[in-house]
Structures are given as C-alpha cells and as structure tokens.
Structure 1
C-alpha cells in the first residue's frame, strides 16, 4: 500500500506512538489509522515499538540471569495485556485528542 494523504512521516509517527498530537494536516491519516480494519493490530505494533527498547534496557540492569529475562518479559506481557484490554478507550482518547469523533459502535 502506498502512502496515505496526510502521512506524518517517520519522525512524527514516532511522536504519535509516544502519545503526542499530530498537526491538523494529518487528521485524515489519524482517522484511517484508528478506524479502518486492523486498527487494533496497528495499536499493538505501535506499542511494541515503544516497549521493546524499554525492555531491552531492563534486560541490561544488573542481576541474576533469571531476573534479567523475567523482568523485561513481565513488563512486556503486562503492558501488552493492558493495551489489548483498553484498546477501545485508547482509541477514543486518541481520536478526541485529534478533534475527531469516535465511532458509535
């Protein structure tokens, strides 16, 4: 698939993944991202892109090997579960942040 109109580019997409608001010119891209088919998958993949470096940093902390593996896995599993459970609320909040109306269903 080609680039969509209003595609924010790599740097702004990184900020979007961290929760920052995009400029109004990217509103159509945000609408597509949060309402088209596959929005949950994109939400989880974006979350993984943020969490994997954090988990890698946790794995570098000193401690026994089981702790250096267990703590990052627990952080990743817990955060992915929280995002999966709260995905509808996260989507509504992000749509409102961009002055878009959340879907009724």
Structure 2
C-alpha cells in the first residue's frame, strides 16, 4: 500500500527517508519516476478504454491520455524530483542540465 501511495505522490513515513533519497538521487532515478507513472496510468488508460464509444475513439482516448501524461512527466523530470525531495525534507541537488541556481 505504501508503494502505491508513494507512486501517487504521497509522503512516506520518516523511517523510509533514506530509501526515498536513494530512489530520487541514485542512477536510474528518471526510469523509476517513469515506471511509477506508467504503473498508475496504464490501469487508468484501460478504464478509459472501457468507456462507451466506438472502439477507435476508446483507443484514441486511452492512447492520448497515456502519451500526453508521459510527455508531461518526461519534460518535468527534474521538477518532479525536486518537489519529491522537498516533500520528504531532503536536500535538492543541483541539476547540471538546468544550470546552477542564482546566488
């Protein structure tokens, strides 16, 4: 249940702080964010595909939701990570792709 709550954006208890730091700062953090997003969105897209409509429209709505939300997550990887680190009271590292914050 905690993994689902964490994937949905909720804060984990303090005893999981080191795990959250590892999850958001070690190599592969982008892949883990994307995997959590897909784990939430794929079942939602299946539900969207069950809405009453022609099959082409149902598929188009589900695919559009999945591709659109995935695009938003990918272009906001750094912002999502920074928000999650702040949410758990962890230091936010400088992101070399975005430059250094102003002094």
Alpha-carbon offset, residue 104 of structure 1: 1.6
Match for residue 70 of structure 2 among 75, 80, 83: 80
In structure 1, stretches of 5+ residues that fail to align are 1-10
Alpha-carbon offset, residue 19 of structure 1: 0.6
Runs of 4+ displaced beyond 4 Å: none
Deviations 1:69-100 (A, max 9, x none): 10000000000000000010000000000000
TM norm structure 2 = 0.90
**Number of aligned residues:** 95
Match for residue 27 of structure 1 among 17, 21, 27: 17
Corresponding position of 1:93: 83
In structure 2, stretches of 5+ residues that fail to align are 96-103
Mapping 1:1-105, distance limit 5 Å: 11-105=1-95
Distance in 1, Cα, partners of 2:61 & 2:34: 20
Distance in 1, Cα, partners of 2:25 & 2:8: 19
- Give SS of 1:61's match: coil
